[in-house]
Amino acid sequence: MSEAWALRPHAPALGTVLCALEEVPRDNGREVCFGEGEKAFRVVLFRLDTSDEASPELRAYINECPHFFIQYNFNADTFCVYDIEGQKDLMCAHHTAMFHLSDGRCYEGPCLGKRLIEVPVKLLNQQVVIG
């Protein structure tokens, strides 16, 4: 995984708590913000699984579409997440680029082949933390 996320303004330190696991929806995303304004560090958490409570599969990406480098949602904590052919995908709300949430790769749309910037996360005592 690239370390590009860590170079962003307001990037939180490893070990920073983002939220409780139960706050990450199974069918949408949960945004956590550090800093304010255009330079804020916006990370969005997604759950890839639908059933495994013991070891949920999480992904976190900076909320920035690689097409125009703007947020990929319009409304707070409302993301276009779909189940397509057995995996969770994200659609950018602006020009409908499609991304696999498993690896952040755009597989259809105006930024084909580019990737969302992943942020490493792990689960610690039912809390999602950077790391």
* Residue 65 contacts ligand FES per CB under 6 A: yes
CA distance 66 to 111: 6
Binds ligand FES by CB under 6 A, chosen from 87, 95, 112, 122: 95
Partners of 128 in the beta sheet? 19, 123
* Residue 79 contacts ligand FES per CB under 6 A: no
Binds ligand FES by CB under 6 A, chosen from 25, 48, 94, 115: 94
CA distance 19 to 42: 13
Closest CA to 123 of 72, 49, 62, 63: 49
Write the binding mask 98 to 117 for ligand FES: x where contact by CB under 6 A, - elsewhere: -----------xx-------
* Distance in Å, CB of 110 to ligand FES, minimum: 5
